[in-house]
Amino acid sequence: MSSDIIDVEILREIGRIANSDIHIDERLKVIISVIIEKTGADASSILLLDQHDNNLIFKATQGLNPDLINKIRIPVDKGIVGYVVRNKEIVALSVAADDPRFEPVPGIGEERFKSVLAVPILHKGLAIGLIYNQTVAEKTYTKREIELLEVIAEQVTGVIRNSQLYEKTCQHLSSLLSLNYFNERVNSSTNTGDLLNDLAGESLKMVKGDASVVWIVAEDKLVPMAHAGGDIGGPVIYEPIKIGEGLIGKVAEERKGLIVNSPDVWGEDMFVRAASPKAVIVVPLLVGKKVVGVLAVADKVGAERGDYIGFEPEELEILSSLSVYAAMAINRLDIYKKLERVSAEREKKIKELAILHEIGVAIQTVPDFNTLIRLILGCITVGDGLGFNRAMLFLVNDETNMLEGTMGLGPDSMDEAVDIWRSMPKIDNLVKWLLTHDYKDQGTGTHLNNLVKNIRVPIDSSGGILPMTLIKGKSFNVPDASQHPYIDRDFIEKIGTNSFAVVPIIVREQHIGVILVDNCYTEKEITEGDIEYLVHFTSYIGLAIHNRRLFKKLRESHNDILVIQNKLLRSEKLSALGELTAELVHELKNPLMVIGGLTRRIISNPNIDPDKYDRYNRAIQDEVSRIEKLLKEIQTNSRLVTTELAETDINMLIEDIIFFYEHTSRDRMVDIVKELSNDVGRCLIDADRFKQVIINLVHNSMDAMPGGGTLTIKTEPVKDDYNNGIMLTVMDTGTGIPPNVIDRIFDPFFTTKDDGTGLGLAMSKKIVEAHGGTIDYRGRPGGGAIFTIYIPKVGEGSMLVQANISSKKVRHH
């Protein structure tokens, strides 16, 4: 096979590697072996730049000493490898040792190589590493070879980016899950000690740290209260730290988290001196603007034990979120204790705590934002909750930098208020009641809600009391609005009350909005206790909003990956096709030219010399058998499908795929139902290829259910006199396939979609058949499609395995 086809094959193979879900190190290893196999280099290595210390690290190699992977670090100012990365330049040398830039790295076995081809791996205009090829014999690299390696380097960038994105998202998703789990636990804990231990332990897990410490504010000092993980520091860090002093004290004072990836700059700090961490994240535990403590996590564990890498900004973000939950819980327990002493109020406050707990749970379960906000305002206004007469919520719009009225809740007149209070039933579970109760039916708040929604003020001193609450970051209790410097008459008239309170909603320094409450009907005085409790409440609102934003962001990046994956899948389908046609065209045109050309000569030359005639005939026969051989090969599909068989747990494979589609399916209102039998066992298949089959079917089903529906994936063992295998069923409740096209759905290029290639089912069929299996379609009674795949179980040494091994050999000559 000549060079063009090999090129396409390499790219395709690397595309496949990029799309597989093995760990990045493994992927690079596979890429290296492809490079070696296809370019004829005697040694090939990938080195990546560690941005923290500007060293190049061997990530994968074949031909050089494999023990040096992840070990030897080459400073970027050294040798040819350094030159390539510094200058983002390709270097091709027939005799590397003659070049002044050449500086052999001792111990890696470079001495035996003569020629070198080194190509930078570029990402966003920066060199992030290089591919380093070497040959033993002296060699002059052609332009084409250089270009090929350049293209491979581009692919490697894709692989790295894709896997970084993937790993990050996976990590973040799991962080978010533990975050919610943590919140649930802290909401139900009544013991500060447990809570703090939990916090220390959880924070370690979330950012893969080695050790963590929690300090709690007591007057002007931070007292260490809990720690988890490795043995951090001596007794000295267990002494209280003054707020404002050292790394930990500074964070408490400035109320801002930070990452220090080289803590030696804080050499005089007590904590740093005692614990001597390699890297540390420190976050304040904040309730609004009040610091209740500090959390520090030290030493992120790298790929190898004892190998520490720096923390990333996202991790600061995650810990900060965790700390908000923790701070609220700590504050709550604090209040709890204080309250225990005041027994007169005890009962009421316990009830309030119960509400807080319920709201905390509701934040995680209520699906839409408006319902959640209404629920929270409901808690503020209903008599069994905080019992304010009215509540109004204003949120910051970041784009316009305005505070905008979002919702108002409460009766519109005295009469209405009396009506409601009279008819109010005895409520057992306030949150549940609020969630199931529709305020509109009661005719409440429509006027107030409209009024609030029409209020928009700029966030500066000209906007009056609402923005000032936010800017100052503290609550205002206003018994007489007409006397207040931030309030003008207009505002009083608009909201129709002269006494009220305004409370800011701030989460982690982020200004989210304000809440205004009043007792305009009962004219009950708003006490400091009421406000303290309201402040508490608002932190939940802030958190709900913040959480939603965080979640949205994570989801977006998760979607990014899906898009990339889809693109890769599609481009693979097309390149498989392109490869096939390019190859076919070439392999057919040449023999046809010979056959046709010589036949023409025979026809136009009746008196042709018999020797010549024989020679022509032989050539024609040669070419005909060449075509026949080619067609036979295509028929057995050995060119389209290569199979790498491995023992695979099909159920796991399905779980993995479904995990990826969770969000997409939710967005599309598709319920995924799994009916995976535990008795299917493992079977010998090419997992990557098989994954494609399942993904193709899942895609098709999703496409067929634009308005939502149910997708069922089922596995079951099949064992009888004739069969021993697995049946896999993918069923949807979509449009189904019209009878007149059923015959064509497995044909290549048959599609009814604007953007379809029509290759999904055709490829799936080929793949299933290469496994000795079958794929069939039938309509679902009641509408929808059912695809069933049967795969026979084959053992090592069976016909299929043999056939695949030999077809692979044919392919790689």
Ligand X SMILES: Nc1ncnc2c1ncn2[C@@H]1O[C@H](COP(=O)(O)OP(=O)(O)OP(=O)(O)O)[C@@H](O)[C@H]1O
The Cα–Cα gap between 250 and 241 comes to 10
Q: State the DSSP H helix or E strand holding residue 390, giving kind and residue range, or none if neither.
A: strand 390-397
Angle at 404 between CA 485 and CA 384, to 5 degrees: 85
The item of ligand X, Mg ion, another protein, none sharing an interface with residue 623, based on CB under 5 to 8 Å by kind, is another protein
How far lies 304's CA from each of 22, 184, 276, in Å? 18, 33, 20
Which residue sits closest to ligand X, CB atoms considered? 760
Nearest-approach distance from CB 700 to ligand X, in angstroms: 3
Closer Cβ to ligand X, 303 or 673, answer by number? 673
Please choose which of another protein, Mg ion, ligand X, none residue 753 contacts, taking the beta carbon within 5 to 8 angstroms, the exact cut-off set by kind: ligand X
CA distances from 189 to 6, 362, 363, 492 (A): 63, 17, 18, 43
Per CB under 8 A, which of residues 612..631 are in contact with another protein?
615, 619, 622-623
> Which of Mg ion, another protein, ligand X, none binds 240 (CB below 5-8 Å, type-dependent)?
none
Q: Per-residue DSSP letters for 136-167? A: SS--PPPHHHHHHHHHHHHHHHHHHHHHHHHH
The piece of 119-127, 456-464, 556-564, 754-762 that touches ligand X (CB under 6 A) is 754-762
- Residues 596, 599, 603, 605: what is their CA dihedral angle, to the nearest 10 degrees? 110
Segment interacting with ligand X, rule: CB under 6 A, options 263-271, 422-430, 602-610, 758-766: 758-766
734 makes contact with Mg ion (CB under 5 A):
no
Site for ligand X (CB under 6 A): which residue of 109, 230, 758, 792? Answer: 758
590 contributes a contact to another protein by CB under 8 A = yes
CB of 591 to another protein, least distance (A): 8
Burial group, residue 534, by CB count within 10 angstroms (0-12, 13-18, 19+): buried
- Least distance (Å) between residue 696 CB and Mg ion: 5
How many CB atoms within 10 Å of residue 571? 15
Closest CA to 213 of 175, 239, 243: 239
Which sign does the torsion angle of CA 581, 584, 587, 589 carry?
negative
Q: Residue 283 is which amino acid?
A: V
Give the residue at shortest CB distance from Mg ion. 760
> In the bound complex, what is the minimum distance in angstroms from residue 760's beta carbon to Mg ion?
3
| Residue number with CB closer to ligand X (499 or 692) | 692
- Rounded Cα gap, residues 168 and 310, in angstroms: 15
| Position among 110, 623, 686, 732 found at the interface with ligand X (CB under 6 A) | 732
- Binding piece for another protein, criterion CB under 8 A, among 204-212, 303-311, 491-499, 581-589: 581-589
- Per the listing, tokens 């063009």 go with 4
Least distance (Å) between residue 62 CB and another protein:
23
Tell me the Cα Rg of the chain.
35
**Pairing outcome for strands 402-409 and 290-301:** unpaired
Within 264-336, strands assigned E span 280-287, 290-301, 308-309
Q: In sequence order, what DSSP letters do the residues of 67-124 get, joined into one string? A: GGTTT-EEETTSHHHHHHHHHT--EEESSGGGSTT--PPTTS--TT--EEEEEEEEET
Query: Judged by CB under 6 A, does residue 753 bind ligand X?
Result: yes
Asked whether position 813 contacts another protein by CB under 8 A, the answer is no
Choose among another protein, Mg ion, ligand X, none what residue 735 binds, the Cβ cut-off being 5 to 8 Å by kind.
ligand X
Q: Which of 289, 549, 589, 666 binds another protein (CB under 8 A)?
A: 589
Q: Does 760 bind ligand X (CB under 6 A)?
A: yes
Each residue 144-183 as x (binds another protein by CB under 8 A) or -, in order, gives x---------------------------------------
Q: Could you say which of Mg ion, ligand X, another protein, none residue 432 binds, taking C-beta under 5 to 8 angstroms by partner kind?
A: none
The answer to whether 757 contacts ligand X (rule: CB under 6 A) is: yes
Q: How far is the CB of 770 from Mg ion (least distance, A)?
A: 19
Q: Which two tokens stand for residue 331?
A: 């504050």
Shortest CA distance to 745 belongs to which of 761, 768, 730?
A: 761
Selection from ligand X, Mg ion, another protein, none that 383 binds (CB < 5 to 8 A by kind) is none
Closest listed residue to residue 199, CA positions, set 75, 319, 84: 319
User: Binding to another protein (CB under 8 A): which residues in 1-20?
Assistant: 2-4
* Residues of this chain that bind ligand X (CB under 6 A): 696, 700-701, 704, 732, 734-737, 745, 750-753, 756-762, 785
* Residues of this chain that bind Mg ion (CB under 5 A): 700, 760
* Residues of this chain that bind another protein (CB under 8 A): 2-4, 142-144, 582, 585-586, 589-601, 615, 619, 622-623
